[in-house]
Structure formats: C-alpha cells, structure tokens
Amino acid sequence: MSGKTLQWLHFPEHRACGILAQHTVDELTDVAKTYVAASYVKYLESAGSRVAVIRLYLSDCEYEKIFYSINGILLPGGAVDLETSEFSRVAGIFYRLALKACDQGDYFPIWGTCMGQQLLTALTAGEDLLTPTDSLNIALTLQFTQEAKSSQMFKDFPPDLMRVLSDKPLTGNFHKFSVTERAFESNVKLRSFYRLISTSSDRRGVTFVSTMEAFQYPFYGTQWHPEANRFLWKESLEAPHCVHGVRISYLLAEFFVNEVRKNLHHFETKEQEESALIDTHKPVFLGDKSSFRTLYFFD
C-alpha cells in the first residue's frame, strides 16, 4: 500500500460507555477482587453502546486517559462507603473530569444507579446525606414532581407510560439507605444542582429521592434499578418483568446511550480499544449465589 503505515480508522458511531468495577463481597472475595454485573452490561448494549471496564486502583493519569477514550460512564449499585472507598475515589475523578469537560463544551454523560445515584449526591454536596430506609427488595411507584415535565429523561416518554409509573409499582428497589426528600430540599448544593424528578416512599412512608438529573450537566440518577426489569432474574427479587416494566427499562437505556453518542472521545488505537472492552472477558454464571446471577470478574 505505497509503503505507508495505515492509520486505524475510528468509526464515529462506535461509542463505548464505561462501567466502574467494584469490590466483591462475602465468599466471592475468594474468586476475584472486583467485578461488574452482567445486567448493567446487557442494559447498555441493548441500546447500542459498547461497554468498557473501568478497573479500580489505577493512577489519576490512567483514569484521565480512559476518560478521553470513552463516551460516558455508568456508576452501578452496590454497597461501599461514599467518602472513603476506592470506588468513590475513582468515581470522584470521573465526576470532576466530566464537570470540567462539560464546562468547556465537551459533553460527557454520567448515570448513577442506586449506590451510583447516592454517590453523585455525595460528590455534589461534599458529604454523605444518606438515611436508613425500609426499601430493600421492594417494587415502588414513582411520584413525579412538576420538574418531570421539563426533564430530559422523561420528556419523550408516552403519557400512558408516565401514568403507569405513577400508579403501579414497577421500579425495583434494593437499598437500605436513601437521600430523603427533606435532606435533598434542605441542602442548597443539591437542590441547585439537580432537578428532583420523582420521589418514592418506603414501607414506613419515608419519602426519598428516586429520580434526579442535573440542571446544567448530563448527569442522571435513579435510586431504583431500570436494568432490573429486563436483566435481573433472581426469583426472590422484586424486579417486575411485565410489558410496562420492560418498556420503561429500554426507553431509559436508549435515552442514556443517545446521550453517550453525543460525546466524541475515542481510543487512540484499535488495540487500546479492544483491550478495554468487556468483550475480551468471559461472564461467570453463579446462579443464586449472587443477586446478579452472572458477573464479570477482575483481579
């Protein structure tokens, strides 16, 4: 080919969303140190995004390089300290890089699910505002605020689906702590940064923040698990798989992946890209040993 080295051709439509790995717990610590649940991978891939693994314990420089290679990040659910854990440290790096990038016109979306949303509130407020709630393994309705009408997340949702979300318990909740509505409204940093889209109430009637999005940044959070309606199959878990639940799950996945498509970052080489993608790792089926049933493990 005229003796010239061919450059790697990057396809602009090839978007990769990162998922931040987290520590294994209980007996799984003997298998590997960290993991990514397959349900989050399937969730993103179902809407047309590829998935890149973001491992823990890398340097700030390495994370910055990853940031400028991927097109968005999903912070998954789990159970870590929101201020001192390695997970929170790494999430904070990406949060601050995203703030700076967006301020400079470089659109970088973040999605937080369950613990991921809690971590977004802690990063914004500068403190852990969680309160114990009786919300473990329960399907709940969403009580939409007036802000829902102007939200990015739900502006294209059909009216009938919004009514169903308000009337039927379709959102899977698996958390023991929440940011209550009172805590949200009383914190100036939170209420000025995030639009409160919906609340839900636990078994004791405590109202907590269930859906939010930033006013000026493409940052989104759900205390509930939208991926659960399609990809969480442990029988003891309250993850509604009805037609409405499945539809809601897909629409939110499509929304976020469309946000990811707005970012123009890319890997420098094809080799770097392929080594980062989760495709190079094999999922491990654990059955009921894990709530997720299938995990990707990383040392």
- What was the pLDDT predicted at 291? 86
Torsion of Cα atoms, 65 then 84 then 227 then 173, to 10°:
-170
Give whole-number Cα distances, 83 to 49, 60, 118, 122, in Å.
30, 17, 11, 8
The residue ranges of DSSP E strands in 217-299, in sequence order, are 219-222, 284-285, 294-298
Beta pairing class for 171-178 and 131-140: antiparallel
Catalytic residue among 114, 175, 265, 266: 114
- What was the pLDDT predicted at 7? 52
pTM, full prediction: 0.93
Catalytic residue among 175, 225, 265, 266: 225
Known catalytic residue at 102? no
Longest CA–CA span in the chain (Å) reads: 74
State how far the Cα of 137 lies from the Cα of 239, in Å rounded to an integer: 8
Number of CB atoms found within 10 A of residue 92's CB: 15
Beta pairing class for 110-113 and 73-75: parallel
- What was the pLDDT predicted at 12? 59
Known catalytic residue at 241? no
Sign of torsion, CA 135 137 142 143? negative
Orientation angle between helical segments 86-103 and 60-67, nearest 10 degrees: 50
Topology given in CATH for the domain delimited by 16-298: Rossmann fold (3.40.50)
- Secondary structure class of 295 (helix, strand, coil): strand
Tens-digit pLDDT string for the chain (299 aa) = 334 444 545 555 678 999 999 988 777 777 778 899 999 999 999 999 999 999 999 999 999 999 999 999 999 988 888 889 999 999 999 999 999 999 999 999 999 999 999 999 999 999 999 999 999 999 999 999 999 989 999 988 999 999 999 999 999 999 999 999 999 999 999 999 999 999 999 999 999 999 999 999 999 999 999 999 999 999 999 999 999 999 999 999 999 999 999 999 999 888 988 989 999 999 999 888 888 899 999 87
